[in-house]
Amino acid sequence: MSRHHDLRRALAAAAAFAVVAVCASAAHADALNGRISFTSFRFNANGDIFTMNPDGSDQRQLTAAPNHAAQTDWSPDGQDIAFRSRASGTFEVWRMDLYGAGLRQLIVSPDQQASSQPTWFPNKQGILFRRSGGGLDAEIWRMGPEGEAPALVAPLGSDQWYPSYSPDMTKVLFATTVVPPGDRGIFVMDANGTNLRQLTDVPGALDSAPAWSPDGRQVAFESNRDGDTDIYVMNADGTDVRQLTHNTIHDEGPAWSPDGLQLAFTSGPDNLNGDIHVMNADGTNVRRLTFTPGRDESPDWQPIPHPTPLRACGDLVAQGPGAYSVGAGGRVWCAQAVSVAARWSLGDAKVKGFACDTGDGGYGARKVDCARPDGSEVVFLSR
């Protein structure tokens, strides 16, 4: 079969895909979909942190000590990971770079207390985290990127879980324990701790692990309101709650892809066994990424930023070599962007008036930026 026939076939598939991608790319994101971090218990009972490509390939272990390393959160520039570890004897917040180097503890909690569930500020100028223990309520704290000046965000009472700033840093999202015991709801407040309001709570159910979409318009979360834990999504004001997974197993911990088109989560028969899965943001096309005994949990998706706005166009390939996380900028729409990415992947260094440069996407991936004289761009990752 000729190379030109291969090219025509790839472009036809790209054009068909782009029709779907244009409709699906309502989210506005300026970052590409890098690696997925997660915690795995495959080698010990306490867990270590791994990363992998977004198709599940090239799984690499970053931590190698049985210190309960978990709850990873990628920095907004994709260069660092904050996480929780018990390496110092109690749970504290640590950080390392994207390859696991530069490991260091950021905070030392007061006696009988612990720190966990870190999330970076969207501008990387600090970290939110949960402080618990010592007979006190578990509350939301903040600190600098190296642990500087830890401070309570707001004295809310009860226990808070999974805090994170909205992308514009005007709000803090979290779950909190409500009455009766065992009931957890999802709330939001202004960044200064005022204007507390409930987004969703089903009495007697655990609504938890909320996650902002990259454009701040939606919140994904887990809930057992239907009898087992599933993944849900709602508007950022709590309206239009939609169930995304529909099964009788345990689905938890949703994490958005940086382009807003996909969600990673853990799925398995119970909360002690599971693997990392990925699905489209509407709940379709569920794919399993890890296949290991025990449990893989708490995925988070690395952003690879781009300085100018992009329209998210999705992946040209679902797995293996090729272009993925395609973005279009300026006067380029997804059909043309996917076509350019397909042509570049087949060896055309300059296509349809675009000059393409490559940079390091990390872990062997290439970040490809194809620009036109009018400033329009097609940006994607390639393996």
pLDDT level of residue 6 (50, 70, 90 thresholds): very low
- Structural domains in the chain? 3-26+308-382 (no CATH), 31-305 (2.120.10.30)
- C-beta neighbour count of 192 within 10 angstroms: 10
- The pLDDT, as a whole number, for residue 349 is 65
pLDDT at 318: 87
Largest CA distance in the chain: 71
- Those residues with Cβ within 8 angstroms of residue 266's Cβ, 6 or more apart along the chain or in another chain: 250, 251, 252, 253, 274, 275, 276, 277, 295, 296, 297, 298, 299
Taking alpha carbons only, the member of 153, 162, 166 closest to residue 73 is 162
Is the distance from CB of 186 to CB of 231 less than 8 angstroms?
no
Q: What is the DSSP letter of 348?
A: -
Average confidence score pLDDT of the chain: 90
Rounded to two decimals, the pTM is 0.92
Give dist(CA 158, CA 140) in Å, integer. 11
CA gap 316, 253 in Å, rounded: 26
Whole-angstrom distance, CA of residue 41 vs CA of residue 18 = 38
Percent of the chain exceeding pLDDT 70 equals 91
* pLDDT tens digits, 187-208: 999 999 999 999 999 999 999 9
Tokens describing residue 155: 């004295």
Q: What is the pLDDT of residues 274-324, one digit of tens each?
A: 999 999 999 999 999 999 988 999 999 999 999 989 999 999 998 899 999
Distance (Å, whole) CA 75 – CA 10: 35
Q: Which tens digit of pLDDT belongs to each residue from 226-279?
A: 999 999 999 999 999 999 999 999 999 999 999 999 999 999 988 888 999 999
Tokens of 182: 């065992």
> What confidence score (pLDDT) does residue 29 get?
60
Per-residue model confidence (pLDDT) at position 341: 95
Write the pLDDT tens digit of every residue in 65-93. 778 999 999 999 999 999 999 999 999 99
Residues 6+ apart with CB under 8 A from 205: 183, 184, 223, 224, 225
Q: What is the pLDDT of residues 117-164, one digit of tens each?
A: 999 999 999 999 999 999 999 999 999 999 999 999 999 988 999 999
Q: Output helix, strand, coil percentages for the chain, rounded to the nearest 5.
A: 10, 45, 45
